[in-house]
Chain A
């Protein structure tokens, strides 16, 4: 069974203080890894898909990287509007669209 573990559970940063979120996974075969952002009271919003170890994707202050066992979401010089819960997920073996989500990292960026 696929497993996804995210750390830390919660992270408080000062505006401009860069950091990284971790997503480690155990799957029978890597079929990709998704990052989503979820704001309170809303559904997850897609950020990135990574398909192979060594791949990197960037969007504004966010950069996602992937190794064979984990993924990192690097946040450079964050702003208060980056405050959200960040979720990672892996697709299932038999049904690629069945995502197994981690429990998320709740990021708070203070001004």
Chain B
């Protein structure tokens, strides 16, 4: 019974490149969340998705960031034209239902922008 799977674990990009982070939720979970943890800061909500729908993207930066959760396959967090300030740990979480549900987190993707 695999948990939330994120890949890659570590991703190095040069400024201006694109970063794609993948997340497969736990089996049976249809709700996916992305959080970002900047150095010396707490976890910050980015986006909440269900299959083929973005439910809440109020925490997403307005430019360069996008997320999707297609009918088939993992959820993708895409960062275009990365800058050094995008360097952070990106965590995906999933839940079986929405609302006051505990979240199950993956081990994260550490993005480093050179």
Which residues on B sit within 8 Å (CB–CB) of A49? 100, 102
Which residues on B sit within 8 Å (CB–CB) of A41? 107-108
Task: Provide the bound-state CA to CA distance between A87 and B105, in Å.
Answer: 13
Q: Judging by beta carbons under 8 Å apart, are A97 and B101 in contact?
A: yes
Also in contact, A43 and B45, with CB within 8 A (given A97-B98, A97-B101): no
Q: Name the interface size band of chain A.
A: 20 to 34
Residue of A nearest to B45 (CB): A98
Which residues on B sit within 8 Å (CB–CB) of A104? 42
Residue of A nearest to B9 (CB): A41
Asked whether B16 is an interface residue with its Cβ less than 8 Å from the other chain, the reply is no
Q: Judging by beta carbons under 8 Å apart, are B48 and A44 in contact?
A: no
Q: Judging by beta carbons under 8 Å apart, are A43 and B101 in contact?
A: no
Asked whether B91 is an interface residue with its Cβ less than 8 Å from the other chain, the reply is yes
Task: Provide the bound-state CA to CA distance between A31 and B59, in Å.
Answer: 20
Which residues on A sit within 8 Å (CB–CB) of B93? 43
Shortest Cβ distance from residue A19 to the other chain B in the assembled complex, whole angstroms:
21
Asked whether A28 is an interface residue with its Cβ less than 8 Å from the other chain, the reply is no
Which residues on B sit within 8 Å (CB–CB) of A96? 98-101
Which residues on B sit within 8 Å (CB–CB) of A89? 43
Shortest Cβ distance from residue A93 to the other chain B in the assembled complex, whole angstroms:
12
Which residues on A sit within 8 Å (CB–CB) of B42? 87, 101-104
Asked whether B56 is an interface residue with its Cβ less than 8 Å from the other chain, the reply is yes
Task: Provide the bound-state CA to CA distance between A100 and B45, in Å.
Answer: 7
Shortest Cβ distance from residue B108 to the other chain A in the assembled complex, whole angstroms:
5
Asked whether B31 is an interface residue with its Cβ less than 8 Å from the other chain, the reply is yes
Residue of A nearest to B55 (CB): A95
Task: Provide the bound-state CA to CA distance between A36 and B55, in Å.
Answer: 24
Q: Judging by beta carbons under 8 Å apart, are B95 and A97 in contact?
A: yes
**Could you tell me which residues of chain B, from 31 to 46, have a CB within 8 Å of some CB in chain A?**
31, 33, 35, 41-45
Q: Judging by beta carbons under 8 Å apart, are B102 and A43 in contact?
A: no
B-to-A contact residues, CB < 8 Å: 4, 31, 33, 35, 41-45, 48, 55-56, 58-59, 91, 93, 95, 98-108
